Amino acid sequence: MGSHSRLKIIMPDETLANPAAEPRLVSAYELRPIAQVRKIPLIEREIHEHLSQAALDAVFASAEIISEGEAGEVAGKTQFLGSTMLTLDVPALGELLREPADEGTARRLAALLAKEKSIEDRIESIVRREVERITHTQPQSVHGETRIRTQGARVFMDIDVEAILG
């Protein structure tokens, strides 16, 4: 076999050439590798979400209110038993709000309303006004139990009302 031969003799010390790997297609949903932390943070940051008072004013000003109930004598006192439902329509507030007026915002609104400290005073003033409208009597005291739920892009606040009338 001379030098014109097409055969190649591979010696055990000689490395074989690897074929070039085809480029792998990367999915748009594939996560990037996790970055290694070289230093630890001295200050930790947290984000707290809460409802702005201006937004709460707008939300409650646009709420649809439906109330029902009746007054009766209980242990010598006139008592009102009923319910009030507030409907907060998030898409109706779309022009005012920075967030999208959709179901996700309605769910966040409901969750934040449940934690809101000023909500009890707002609800009590609405319920007081509704009891007075229905009974034509100023209530001495008003108590209520509120449940908050969402349906689509609307938030419903259902309030069971008990009031002692003057």
Q: Into how many domains does the chain fold?
A: 1
124 is a domain residue: yes
Burial classification of residue 87, based on how many CB atoms lie within 10 Å of its CB (0-12 exposed, 13-18 middle, 19 or more buried)? middle
Q: What is the pLDDT of residues 104-144, one digit of tens each?
A: 999 999 999 999 999 999 999 999 999 999 999 999 999 99
Q: What is the pLDDT of residues 144-158, one digit of tens each?
A: 999 999 999 999 999
32 is a domain residue: no
96 is a domain residue: yes
pLDDT of residue 57: 94
5 is a domain residue: no
Q: How far is CA 42 from CA 36, 39, 45, 48, 116, in A?
A: 17, 9, 10, 20, 31
Model confidence band, residue 1 (pLDDT cutoffs 50, 70, 90): very low
- Residue 57 is part of which domain span? 53-165
113 is a domain residue: yes
User: Would you say the pTM of this structure is higher than 0.85?
Assistant: no
155 is a domain residue: yes
116 is a domain residue: yes
